[in-house]
A and B are shown apart, each in its own frame.
Chain A
Amino acid sequence: MIQAIVFLPLLAALVAGLGQRAIGPFASKLVTTGALFTSCALSWPIFLSFVTGTGQAEVVTVLHWVSSGALQFNWELRVDTLTAVMLVVITTVSALVHLYSWGYMEEDPDQPRFFAYLSLFTFAMLMLVTANNLVQMFFGWEGVGLASYLLIGFWYKKPSANAAAIKAFVVNRVGDLGFMLGIFGTFLVFGTVSIPEILAAAPGMAGSTITFLGMRLDTMTILCLLLFIGAMGKSAQLGLHTWLPDAMEGPTPVSALIHAATMVTAGVFMVCRLSPMFETSDVAQGVVMFVGAATCFFAATVATTQWDIKRVIAYSTCSQLGYMFFAAGAGAYGAAMFHLFTHAFFKALLFLGAGSVIHAMHHEQDMRYYGNLRKQIPITFWAMMLGTLAITGVGIAGVAGFAGFYSKDGILEAAFASGGGGVVAFWVGIFVAFLTSFYSWRLVFLTFYGKARWEQSEHIQHAVHDDHGHGHYDNAHAAHDDHSHHHDAHSDGTAGYHPHESPITMLIPLVLLSIGAVFAGIAFHHQFIYPEEGMAFWKGSMLAFDEHLMHAAHEVPLWVKWTPFTVMAIGLFLAWNSYIRNTTLPARFVAQFKLLHQFLYNKWYFDELYNILFIKPAFAIGRFFWKRGDEQTIDRFGPDGVAALVQGGTRLAVRLQSGYVYGYAFVMLLGLVGLASWAMVNFL
């Protein structure tokens, strides 16, 4: 069963990718989408068996992989609660994204390649979450990185897409450096890369010390931190986050699947999978919590200022991943996984909703040129509305709420209950909840409310002026990065454009994900974060589920439970006040706090900083080594110098031109003959 779930997408990817000429685009789409729906249908029973407590953890060995001395690992598929949660998240979102792409990518000439990449990604992600050893996890880890690279750069004619694709791969490799060193260190310390064996032995290593790069360090701390660097790369945490916003260059279904619901949560999954290791080091947990909280805060501040609808959601993702990490840092792994689970539904929903808006708006992504769309595309509007209610965590404590309400409040309560640094993280989380509400409602209000501002959009003007112009996804994007906005005659701001609701293949996924965004929290919160049910649910998955912490989390003071709702309401009010009631307010605010706005709008200048610190120097040093090192030092004093000494430079040059190759070969032969003669003379 699990073999089918994992390998069907691979098979479909190969058929669609390599056989597209033979079977045609329609069959390619059918094969991949069919495979994913099959995987999805097989995954839910596994998940539900763990929910009802009948599921048993198992490991299926597929093939021997490597054995070198004590370093041995197989291709294995592990199924337990933690994997089952990921299985349903991955296969469900992936299946729906496949379906959605039938509509969204309809006019693209390269659809089989797109669907093959999507299925390939799903396979790699499934290999990652079913890994029973660190190396297979790394296989999945790099596999999703490859798929992400290919999909970000899917429109490969766009220079910006190519740059974003390389950036994503290379920045992730920085994280992988940590991951690889972490695996090496773990093998050195434990003598195995098998995850269950490592986790069983980890408590015994607590307090031991090891030398790393000349520093004497606590063993478990350094191992966890190295592995966590990998998680930071994949999950776009502060410092290694710069690739994620740029990854929005990829088609929107990709953003929903890879850069919101699944791949970017791999880091959180890894920390949860290895939670017994992290439990042995307070320092490592503290770092995880700190990085999570910092990312959470950073990304939310940037999200409040962006105009591109996808970038707002991308920063929102980054920020929500921060929540998951600080939950893990606080020891509330169940809460981290719960937020991962609910977030997958509502964030995929928001991205696909945004895709539907972009589709309706003729590839315009700038929210400044949206407005008043709720009547034009009502289903998209309601889907986005439900997604926003979920992400902002609307709900009434003790009664009912949207998905994000349960998971986010679970995180905040657990952080508060864990005490110490957790309380700081709690307050950061509260502030970010306020920002989340503000930027999410800002997005909804700018897009769906107010007056239509479409006429200023180049894309819309194109659509109005040449009606057939849908075909050029890539060209249209590349050419019109800078908008020259001339006003049209239409006084209603629509430029005479009529947005259309998306086709049915795009609406079905929106509706299904809306169900998840509404009910995923209320349906499963007992299993994920309640103390007793949680213990039963997570047993056999090796997750370090802390029953006491979850008890404490449920018994926090009432004000702790109500604060998230309160700040959500404040954020909603502020967004309404700024973008519906008093629309000049944002501009006045920006004028007032110009520096702050610039700082946030330019994403804290991380890209500029890295460019100066790493990219430019790498090229400069490379050129220096090449010209000054190889050519002007090694060659000058090496072969060229020898030549000059022996023969004088100019004469040599002439000789070289006149073909000395035979001469050299002749010298070699002479040497060999000499050797043979020597051997004969000496030994005869």
Chain B
Amino acid sequence: MSGFPILSLMLAVPAIAAIACLFVGDKMARWVALGATLATFVLGCILWANFDIGGAQWQFQELHEGIFGRFNYALGIDGMALMLIMLSVFLMPLCILASWESIKSRVGLYMSMFLVMEVVMIGVFMAQDLLLFYIFFEAGLIPMYFIIGIWGGANRKYAAYKFFLYTLLGSVLMLIAMIAMIAEAGTTSIPVLLNYDFPVQMQTWLWLAFFASLAVKMPMWPVHTWLPDAHVQAPTAGSMILAGVLLKLGAYGFIRFMMPMFPDASGQLMWVVFGLSMIAVVYTSLVALVQSDMKKLIAYSSVAHMAIVTAGLFAFNQQGIEGALIIMLSHGVVSAALFFCVGVIYDRLHTREIDRYGGLAVNMPAYALFFMLFTMASIGLPGTSGFVGEFLSLAGIYEASSWVAFVCTTGIILGAAYMLYLYRRVVFGELTKDDVKAMPDLNPREWAVLAPLAAVALWMGVYPESFLAPMRGDVTTVVARLAPAKPAGDAHLAAGKPKAAEAHHGEAHHAGGVQ
């Protein structure tokens, strides 16, 4: 594989297809988009197959210097980026399939927007130049605006505006911080910056500026209110990609930039992250409990899940960070699936009101089964992807602080409550309403979307090693980078006078967090 610019090819395929979609008819545009996203997915699989686990940190690097001054076209991936790229290219064809019938107007433009989105999303994860990263990072918003603004629901303008206002505000600050970083370090290369030691004072300011942008993208409480509106107004596939990949950009920024580049500031300010995460878990879970709109409910649950990601990342240990990464992948698959589940019945009845449904288990048994599976994955049932991530990250958080772990773990109770309550109202109960009775079960296209998502959710739950292995080395690197800044855990285990004389004193060494 060496030398072959596979990363550029992965950007080029959807980019070319995006242009093509604008010029072919509606029917053709669908097939072009599907073909291009599938081709990109195949390229992704080749990429994964050729990724050398345990090899060099950065692989498949491409560098073309000085395209715009010192603004380099530098690509390259590590294990974390690989996994997030796989998530993106896996979800994309499913999104195209999900919009196959529900999008009827301006199909060419719509497909083109999705392909542009794919380019910028995988571009974010490939970029090795700070400014290139920024461009991809912010450019991702533009197609999303269009998708919400043109093909969205009744109140789409307000949602698009809110989305815009929040994200713009944060990204301006991040841009300023990036410029300051370049001025200080004299380079835009991300691999170099990762090992650059910024002055501690400066780190704090840079950290806060990045945090302003990434917290919105996550989203973290209290800058989360754009998300429910955006989801509610977005078309099904828009929600899938928003929850599936765009929400992961914030967390990716945390682990790619803030934590390794500003380790001291991260150590000092971890309590900000912990505090906001704890509030978010409880607050948004309770809000999810009282929602009457399906998409809003799932959107709020996303905020709660992302809060466990942020808390897990800032545990600064192997379990916490690996767990957070697995939640990102798992949530990408599961929440996309849940939004698609909403889309399936929305396409039939054109309402997201939970109370309009009920009794779907009778006439849509296959749908009920899939929905149950993803509900269980969302509430972290062991054996599904949700559990592995939640368990690892909470275990990591516990090593850092039992308080944070305790509050975040209450999410498993509330999560079960709101998801099962949702499921009960939609799927269980008596089938009484005539229009609901008339709803047919899944068609082959819907099967084709749900079955791969279900397979991955179970695969990640039963054998997560496939996903953990490529990322292990990168996480270890980050943990090592953070080690000097890491505060001791709150456990303070102290050996006492053991009952038995032949006590194993060795165990006391595990005090304060085991790596």
Contact = CB atoms under 8 A, between A and B. Distances in A.
B157 A656 contact: yes
Closest 7 CB pairs of A and B: A207-B496, A661-B149, A69-B318, A204-B504, A683-B69, A184-B398, A622-B286
Contacts of A657: 157
A639 B376 contact: no
Contact of A639 (B150, B166, B382, B499): B166
Interface stretch (B100-108, B132-140, B201-209, B245-253): B132-140
Contacts of B428: 153, 156-157, 162
Contacts of A189: 491, 493, 507, 510
Contact of A173 (B142, B361, B413, B496): B413
B497 A207 contact: yes
A400 interface: no
A208 interface: yes
B110 to A, nearest CB: 14
Given A162-B424, A205-B498, A626-B287, A177 B429 contact: no
B324 to A, nearest CB: 11
A205 B507 contact: yes
Contact of B290 (A157, A619, A664, A678): A619
Contacts of B361: 156
Nearest to A203: B500
Given A180-B394, A625-B287, A634 B225 contact: yes
Contact of B514 (A191, A625, A635): A191
Given A187-B514, A213-B402, A64 B145 contact: no
A68 B382 contact: no
B499 A642 contact: no
A69 B500 contact: no
A456 to B, nearest CB: 28
A181 B138 contact: no
B412 A177 contact: yes
Contacts of A63: 462-463
Interface-central residue, B179, B283, B290, B490, by most chain A CB under 10 Å: B290
A138 B382 contact: yes
Interface stretch (A139-147, A355-363, A431-439): A139-147
A143 B387 CA distance: 12
Contact of A675 (B134, B424, B429, B515): B134
A190 B510 contact: yes
The size bracket of the interface on B is: 35 or more
Contacts of A206: 496, 498-500, 503
Interface in B11-51: none
Interface string B113-153: 00000000000000000010011001101100110111000
Contacts of B410: 177
Interface-central residue, B135, B394, B496, B515, by most chain A CB under 10 Å: B496
27 contacts: A68-B318, A68-B319, A69-B317, A71-B319, A71-B392, A141-B382, A156-B361, A156-B428, A162-B428, A166-B421, A173-B413, A180-B409, A185-B402, A187-B398, A208-B494, A208-B496, A211-B492, A218-B496, A618-B286, A622-B286, A626-B290, A660-B161, A664-B164, A665-B142, A672-B138, A682-B69, A683-B71
Interface-central residue, B148, B489, B503, by most chain A CB under 10 Å: B503
B319 A623 contact: no
Contacts of A212: 402, 491
Contact of B69 (A659, A661, A679): A679
A682 B463 CA distance: 50
B504 A67 contact: no
Interface of B: 68-71, 131, 134-135, 138-139, 141-142, 145-146, 148-150, 156-158, 160-162, 164-166, 168, 175, 179, 222-223, 225-226, 228, 283, 286-291, 317-319, 322-323, 359, 361-362, 376, 381-383, 387-388, 391-392, 394-395, 398-399, 402-403, 405-406, 409-410, 412-414, 416-417, 420-421, 424, 427-431, 462-465, 468, 489-500, 503-508, 510, 513-515
Contacts of B406: 181, 213
A190 B511 CA distance: 9
Contacts of A626: 287, 290-291
A398 interface: no
Classify the interface of chain B: helix, strand, loop or mixed. Answer: helix
B502 to A, nearest CB: 8
A232 to B, nearest CB: 14
Nearest to B427: A156
Contacts of B160: 661, 664
A176 B498 contact: no
B286 A625 contact: yes
A142 B381 contact: yes
A469 interface: no
A638 interface: yes
Interface-central residue, A67, A135, A664, by most chain B CB under 10 Å: A664
A629 interface: yes
Contacts of B392: 66, 68, 71
A237 interface: no
Given A66-B468, A170-B416, 15 more contacts: A169-B416, A184-B398, A187-B395, A204-B500, A204-B503, A206-B499, A209-B493, A211-B402, A211-B490, A622-B290, A642-B165, A657-B157, A664-B160, A679-B68, A683-B69
B137 to A, nearest CB: 10
Given A156-B428, A661-B145, A65 B463 contact: yes
Contacts of B135: 672, 675-676
Contacts of A165: 420, 424
B225 A188 contact: no
B139 to A, nearest CB: 7
B225 A630 contact: yes
Contacts of A177: 409-410, 412-413
Contacts of B507: 189-191, 201, 204-205
A668 B141 contact: yes
Contacts of A45: none
A159 B149 CA distance: 40
A671 interface: yes
A420 interface: no
Contacts of A591: none
Interface-central residue, A214, A219, A657, by most chain B CB under 10 Å: A219
Nearest to A621: B286
Interface string A207-250: 11111111000110000000000000000000000000000000
A660 B69 contact: no
A643 interface: yes
Contacts of B157: 656-657, 659-661
B382 A135 contact: yes
A212 B409 CA distance: 14
A204 B498 contact: yes
A621 B513 CA distance: 35
B70 A679 contact: yes
A25 to B, nearest CB: 14
Contact of B513 (A138, A188, A682): A188
Contact of B226 (A75, A184, A622, A639): A639
Contacts of B421: 166
Nearest to A214: B403
Interface in A447-489: none
A623 B290 contact: yes
A396 interface: no
A629 to B, nearest CB: 7
Contacts of B506: 204
A638 B398 contact: no
Contacts of B139: 668, 672
A175 to B, nearest CB: 10
Interface-central residue, A200, A218, A639, A657, by most chain B CB under 10 Å: A639
Interface in A592-624: 618-619, 621-623
A181 B405 CA distance: 8
A67 B491 contact: no
Nearest to A638: B225
Contacts of B416: 169-170, 173
A637 B402 CA distance: 34
Contacts of A75: 462
